[in-house]
Structure 1
Amino acid sequence: MAKQSIFGRISTLLRANINSMLDSAEDPQKMLDQLVRDYSNSIADAEAAIAETIGNLRLLERDHEEDIQEASEWGNKALAASRKADQLRTAGSTADADKFDNLAKIALQRQIGSEREARAVEPTIASQSEVVAKLKDGLNGMKQKLEQLRSKRSELLARAKTAEAQNKVHDAVKSIDVLDPTSELGRFEDKIRRQEALAQGKEELAASSLDAQFNSLDDMGELTEVETRLAELKAGTPAPAQQAIDASTAPYTP
């Protein structure tokens, strides 16, 4: 019962602490450090409880040894009184002999009482000794698990740091992925493309404006030629184009 009570209580506390830390999703290192501390504290509690159990067992063993010692002493006293009674009876002192025989009987009664007390406590000592042995084994097992926990803590922290580093590398690579439109480089390239498109638009706009200016020059030249021909018509001088037409319609003279 003592073994079940001690380790059952510790197990319940540990499960409660572990579940609480997992539910709160704390920082891995803080969580593992707290778990090591809690387990170490639980071992300290177990040691204190086991030490108390061992102390009680040692008290029982000491009382048992004292009962055995007292039984032995009362036996020696009974033997001494009986021998004295025999000596006095041999010497003819019957009354004194009977007196010492009565003392021997009293000593034997005390011896029997001490032996009875010693026998009564022996089953308890045996059961408590078995409990203490199991408690010690359980405590040693807890200490071994603590070492395993510390080793596992180092392993898990190393894995956590490796995973964190891998995530940072992944994020860094993703930020320069030219195929990822959400990356920094992708956004920068998109900005450049918009600038290039703006420059092209301005260039086309400028080109269309220049063409319009040349077209207006051509229109002005045509109007000027019309004015010139009109003036020649009024002056009776045919325009070059009209002269070419007249020449083409004149009869051929060999």
Structure 2
Amino acid sequence: MTKQSIFGRITTLVRANINSILDSAEDPQKMIDQLIRDYTNNIADAESAIAETIGNLRLLEQDYREDVKTAEEWGRKAIAASGKADELRTAGNTVDADKFDNLAKVALQRQISAENEAKTAEPTIAAQQEVTAKLKDGLNGMKEKLKQLHSKRAELVARAKTAEAQNRVADAVKSIDVLDPTSDLGRFEEKIRRQEALARGKQEIAASTLDAQFNELENFEAVTEVEARLAALKSGRTAQAIEQ
């Protein structure tokens, strides 16, 4: 029953579609770690069961070889006893001849018994050999699946690290986006623009003040010239009056 259960588990695990299992998993990495543990544990169980099966098979094969060897030995003894009986009968000693013929018959009976035991064991040995071969194939299939799982896990870990790195780069690029008004760089640029605008405003104010000063100077000069001309007019009229 235990061997049948293990054989069923081996068959199920070997036929399992790893990619399909991982595709349907919410967390593929956790799922693959669990699969690795399951395969590792079942491989250990399978190895133990196969070792026991092989041990039993070797005992059956050893018993079979011993039965064949025993049958051959009894066959040789039967031949020897029958030959001795023929010699004694030829010599006229029928009593001893009959005795050795009886021994030959006993040897033949033992030979037949050993051959029957060997024949009875043959189907059992064949069945055990078939089971052992299937278990070995299944075990090799499980080990191959385990290699695939380890390879798949390494691939998933590498992909996860790559995705993490890509996300970090994307976040870093986003954080320095000069078009983003909420970014530090955007705020710093806005501050510079305001300072530049303030400087331009001060320059315009300074320029307008200077122009006003020049205008005042021009107006002052104009007033002074008027006053001078008025004074000249008055001075001229006074001179004419004195002459008259």
Q: Same fold (TM over 0.5)?
A: yes
Encode CA deviations 1:157-193: one digit per residue, 9 max, x unaligned. Answer: 1101111112222333333445667x6539x849x88
What stretches of structure 2 of length at least 5 have no aligned partner?
A: 195-244
- The answer to whether structure 1 residue 140 and structure 2 residue 140 are counterparts is yes
- Measured in 2, the distance between the counterparts of 1:49 and 1:147 equals 21
> Which 10-residue stretch deviates more, 112-121 or 167-176?
167-176
Indicate conservation of the 8 Å contact 2:10/2:139, yes or no.
no
* Residues in 1 aligned to 2:26 and 2:4: alpha-carbon distance in whole angstroms: 30
Distance across 2 between alignment mates of 1:173 and 1:143: 45
Structure 1: gaps (5+ residues): 197-254
Q: Distance in 2 between matches of 1:80 and 1:168?
A: 93
In structure 2, the CA distance between the partners of 1:141 and 1:12, relative to structure 1 (3 Å rule), is: closer
Aligned to 1:185: 184
> Contact (CA 8 Å) 2:13, 2:142: kept in 1 or not?
no
Q: Tell me which residue corresponds to 1:67.
A: 67
Aligned to 2:109: 109
Q: Determine whether 1:159 maps to 2:142.
A: no
TM value normalised by structure 2: 0.63
| Aligned length in residues | 186
Q: Normalized against structure 1, the TM-score is what?
A: 0.61
The separation in 2 between residues aligned to 1:2 and 1:134, in whole angstroms, is: 15
Deviates more, 1:73-82 or 1:135-144: 135-144
State the percentage of identical aligned residues.
70
Q: Is the 8 A contact 1:57 1:125 kept in 2?
A: yes
Q: How does 1:1-254 map to 2 (within 5 A)?
A: 5-10=5-10, 25=27, 28=29, 32-33=32-33, 35-177=35-177, 185=184, 189=187
Cα distance change, pair 160–125 in 1 and its aligned pair in 2 (3 A): same
Partners of 1:13 and 1:141 lie apart in 2 by 9
CA contact (8 A) 2:10 2:138 kept: no
Shift of 1:24: 8.6
Separation in 2, partners of 1:171, 1:177: 10
Paired residues of 1:3 and 1:134 also in contact (CA < 8 A)? no
**Contact 1:2 / 1:131 at 8 angstroms: preserved in 2?**
no
CA RMSD of aligned residues (A): 3.4
Deviation of 1:6 after TM superposition, in Å, equals 1.9
Question: CA deviation digits over 1:215-254, x for unaligned, max 9?
Answer: xxxxxxxxxxxxxxxxxxxxxxxxxxxxxxxxxxxxxxxx
